[in-house]
């Protein structure tokens, strides 16, 4: 049995609707006696939302090693958590089942139109491409590019710019049972809603600065 995971590019953490644009991000072959597509969906939601620390403790259980390694690859490729609105395709020997992630489980849906699907499932080529993007670019390599492909070195006459990458772990105490993946997602979404694109004014000993959040990669 094969499962392919599609992120929803249009839903904004709302339930899937026909016509939404989907991007394939990963796929896995599962050796499981349970052929229920909804059970596969529960596996997907658990593996691609659970903490790696938790999955690591379950590696010795049946299917635990597959789940742990799948989650590790998923995180290393910097994919976000599987969320409401995302879609999976579960392929069996006889047919393909399509399901959408809803706030309280998985809902069978009609096959999305091929024109609304893009991306590629997990592949060697995709991993190589990701590795290539993580390698630092030397100044010599940058200089060798055509001038129109290089970043403009000019900066504002009064201000300079530097891109920072900030990684933070946020501990959340909640009344809900955060062992429940759906409750955990609800808290995660509320937290994400607090992020703002508004400029952040900073006061430093070296003068004022303005920060803007330009990219957020979150894993619940």
- pLDDT score, position 151: 46
Residuewise pLDDT in 10s, the chain (220 residues): 899 999 999 988 799 999 999 999 999 999 877 778 999 999 999 999 999 999 999 999 999 999 999 999 999 998 999 999 999 999 988 899 999 999 989 999 999 999 999 988 888 888 888 888 876 654 554 444 554 444 444 444 455 666 666 666 778 888 888 888 788 878 877 777 776 656 788 888 777 888 776 555 555 5
- pLDDT score, position 166: 67
Can you give the pTM of this predicted structure? 0.62
Distances (CA, A) of 81 to 49, 73, 142, 206: 5, 13, 34, 39
The residues that bridge with 117 in the sheet, in sequence order, are 22
Domain ranges of the chain: 2-128
């Amino acid at each position: 049995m094969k499962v392919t995971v599609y992120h929803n590019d249009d839903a904004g953490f709302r339930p899937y609707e026909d016509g939404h644009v989907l991007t394939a991000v990963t796929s896995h072959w599962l050796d499981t006696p349970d052929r229920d597509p909804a059970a596969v969906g529960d596996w997907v939601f658990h593996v691609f939302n659970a903490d790696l620390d938790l999955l690591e403790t379950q590696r010795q259980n049946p299917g635990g090693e597959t789940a742990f390694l799948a989650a590790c690859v998923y995180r290393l490729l910097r994919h976000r958590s599987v969320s409401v609105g995302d879609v999976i395709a579960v392929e069996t020997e006889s047919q393909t089942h399509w399901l959408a992630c809803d706030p309280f489980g998985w809902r069978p849906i009609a096959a999305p139109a091929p024109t609304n699907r893009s991306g590629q499932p997990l592949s060697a080529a995709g991993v190589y491409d990701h590795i290539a993007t993580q390698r630092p670019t030397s100044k010599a390599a940058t200089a060798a590019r055509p001038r129109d492909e290089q970043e403009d070195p000019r900066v504002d006459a009064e201000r300079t710019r530097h891109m920072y990458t900030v990684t933070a772990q946020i501990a959340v105490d909640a009344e809900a049972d955060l062992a429940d993946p759906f409750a955990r997602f609800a808290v995660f979404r509320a937290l994400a809603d607090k992020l703002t694109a508004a400029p952040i004014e900073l006061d430093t000993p070296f003068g004022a600065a303005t920060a803007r959040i330009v990219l957020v990669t979150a894993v619940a």
